[in-house]
Amino acid sequence: MLQRFCRLSTKYTEYQQRKGNTVKSIKKQLTGREVVLGAAHELILRDGLKSLDIKELAARSKMTRANIYLIFGSEPRSVIYESIIGEFLQRAQNSITTALITSPPNFNNVEKLASILRVTLHFFHENPQPGKVVLLWLDMSHSAYRPIRQIFKHIDHVVDQAIKKDEIIVGFSSVQIRQILFAVMYGLLRAFYLEEEQIGVRIKKEVMQTFVHRGVLQVLSGLCSAHTRAQIDEQINALPAS
């Protein structure tokens, strides 16, 4: 009986050790994944190419090529690019959804729209490297960009409600208004983030964010009715001087 108990105890100990090693391996793999993605951001932005040199990526990330293939599979170039884009946009979508859910009950639809814009800008501000990769290529037909479609649905719904309640008075559809706001924000973000990357000019992130935020809110203000315009203008005036 004692011998059987000892054998069971030994097997259980071995099981726990194997389990612990598996957990450590997973943690190490996750850490390695983050390191590789960080190195990939740098190479993509430096070269302006989606297709990564795996040998150079391995050297920059201090990971073996075998480990990169182990983490990302047999097609690491496409998987790494899709991971950068997809994960950034999915987290952005989650942030926007949270912002809408937690909006104060007295917010009108234009204020909700301003909140979406603010959250989006803040997300780029907090995640500049993957954000720059997203700005470098915008391919709505690519599966990795699918979360953008859901973000657009959120915006279209809010704008549609604003139009119905005369909070936005211009004679455009919700899709057209969203396209205007998106084009302005996308253009300003590209101009700041990518120009900084290309010519090596360093602009304070806070200054950049404030300038883009003010520009987008000014466009939104021009689309609003008188009473909602006053609320957006208050937000513009509350921004720090850039």
**189-218, pLDDT tens digit by residue?**
888 777 655 545 556 667 778 888 999 999
User: Tens of pLDDT along 131-148?
Assistant: 888 888 777 777 777 888
Alpha-carbon distances of 123 from 1, 69, 90, 221, rounded to whole Å: 62, 30, 11, 22
Question: How is residue 195 written in tokens?
Answer: 């120009």
Portions of the chain given CATH number 1.10.357.10: 78-242
Q: pLDDT at position 26, please?
A: 41
- The fold adopted by the segment(s) 78-242 is Tetracycline Repressor; domain 2 (1.10.357)
Query: What global pTM score does this model have?
Result: 0.76
* Superfamily of the domain at 1-74: Homeodomain-like (1.10.10.60)
Q: pLDDT at position 149, please?
A: 87
Portions of the chain given CATH number 1.10.10.60: 1-74
Place of tokens 């726990």: 16
User: Tens of pLDDT along 224-234?
Assistant: 998 899 999 99
> Which band of pLDDT confidence, cut at 50, 70 and 90, is reported for residue 24?
very low
| Dihedral over alpha carbons 186, 191, 197, 202 (to 10 degrees) | -120
